[in-house]
């Protein structure tokens, strides 16, 4: 990452840290009224990071925005900021402008739709391409994080070429990046708790069994970040890279949530403690846009396709870091 990107990410992190407090996250979840938070975030201009420069945006590429999506996950941002950013980039690249105040989700077929109760618009797949439609969430998911089970679609306000699979791949990539960010914050919280909480006269972090579990937790977080970053390494989302990222994120979620809550004990699940803000969202993302089994199957089918003589060549061709000039 170059110095310009460091400045970009640092500025974005300061904005999110100042704007998205745990209290504000809870407020949006409880009231389903994101207007004031969205206004503050929208005014920052970061929603147009992927919009081409000639259309008034920053003209960044996928590797550039990946650190921003990590930050969104780290702070449990309770609105579809990442989804709207990516949707605006997809639309503007084809000459279609989204309404300025639109809260957009990428909405392929999914068991649950994160942020579905907050949206004004959705990018959906139809026979003739991807349509940006007016939308409203319907049905409540079980995670209490403003998700929906589906959408009521209204009028189309724009269309771009694309398929339902393109939409699924994009949605899974965005979810994987935010999952990696959320896991990073859970690791940080667990390390802090283990250092501060004492049992039998010693900090929890001094016990070998706890140290071993935290080491496993850290391993899972780093692995998930590497896989998610790889999904954002090209000029567009690659299905094999995204399959690996979403599969890895789904698998890691089970261990990360289990270890974090085990180290915290009962306090981690209480409404007053912030850990559950992240574990609920991780479980929601884990279910959304294809489970790890779905993506593992797709990854296996890609490996078994003709032209892949061995696994080493498959990994080198499909999952090695791609340098974008």
Q: What is the mean pLDDT of each run of 10 residues along the chain (325 residues)?
A: 70 96 97 95 94 92 96 98 97 93 96 96 95 95 94 94 97 98 98 89 88 96 96 94 97 96 93 96 97 94 88 86 55
The pLDDT, as a whole number, for residue 234 is 85
Q: How far apart are CA 142 and CA 309, in angstroms?
A: 44
Number of domains in the chain: 2
Q: Are residues 128 and 102 in the same domain?
A: yes
Q: Are residues 296 and 214 in the same domain?
A: yes
CATH of the domain at 93: 1.10.540.10
The pLDDT, as a whole number, for residue 322 is 59
Start-to-end C-alpha separation, the chain? 13
The pLDDT, as a whole number, for residue 1 is 40
Sign of the CA dihedral with 272 first, then 276, 280, and 285 last: positive
Q: How far apart are CA 28 and CA 290, in angstroms?
A: 26
The pLDDT, as a whole number, for residue 200 is 81
Q: Are 116 and 147 in contact (CB under 8 A)?
A: yes
pTM, to two decimals: 0.94
56 phi/psi in degrees, rounded to 5? 95, 10
Q: Are residues 156 and 221 in the same domain?
A: no
Q: Where would I find the H helices in 81-150?
A: 81-92
* Residue 316 structure tokens: 């080198």
Domain range for 254: 178-318
Distances (CA, A) of 64 to 2, 34, 106, 140, 251: 10, 26, 20, 34, 26
Q: Assess if residue 71 is contained within a domain.
A: yes
The pLDDT, as a whole number, for residue 286 is 96
DSSP label of 148? E
Q: Assess if residue 233 is contained within a domain.
A: yes
């Amino acid at each position: 990452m170059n110095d310009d990107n460091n400045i970009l990410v640092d500025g974005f992190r300061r904005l999110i840290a100042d704007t998205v407090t745990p209290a504000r996250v809870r407020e949006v979840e409880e009231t389903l009224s994101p207007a004031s938070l969205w206004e503050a975030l929208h005014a920052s201009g970061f929603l147009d990071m992927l919009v081409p420069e000639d259309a008034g945006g920053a003209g960044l590429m996928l590797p550039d925005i990946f650190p921003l999506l990590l930050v969104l996950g780290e702070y449990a941002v309770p609105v579809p900021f990442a989804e709207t950013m990516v949707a605006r980039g997809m639309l503007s690249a084809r000459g279609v402008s989204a309404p300025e105040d639109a809260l957009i989700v990428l909405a392929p077929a999914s068991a649950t739709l994160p942020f579905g109760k907050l949206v004004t618009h959705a990018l959906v797949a139809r026979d003739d391409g991807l349509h940006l439609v007016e939308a409203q969430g319907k049905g409540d998911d079980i995670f209490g994080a403003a998700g929906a089970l589906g959408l009521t679609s209204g009028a189309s306000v724009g269309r771009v070429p694309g398929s339902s699979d393109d939409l699924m791949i994009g949605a899974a990539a965005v979810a994987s990046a935010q999952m990696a960010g959320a896991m990073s914050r859970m690791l940080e919280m667990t390390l802090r708790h283990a250092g501060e909480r004492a049992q039998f006269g010693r900090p929890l972090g001094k016990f070998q069994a706890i140290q071993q579990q935290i080491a496993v937790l850290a391993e899972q977080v780093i692995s998930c970040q590497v896989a998610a970053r790889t999904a954002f390494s090209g000029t567009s989302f690659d299905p094999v890279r995204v399959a690996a990222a979403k599969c890895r994120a789904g698998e890691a979620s089970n261990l990360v949530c289990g270890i974090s809550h085990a180290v915290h004990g009962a306090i981690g699940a209480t409404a007053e403690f912030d850990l559950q803000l992240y574990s609920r969202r991780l479980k929601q993302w884990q279910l959304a846009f294809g489970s790890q089994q779905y993506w593992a199957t797709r990854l296996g089918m890609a490996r078994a396709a003709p032209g892949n003589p061995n696994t080493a060549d498959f990994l080198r061709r499909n999952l090695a870091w791609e340098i974008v000039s």
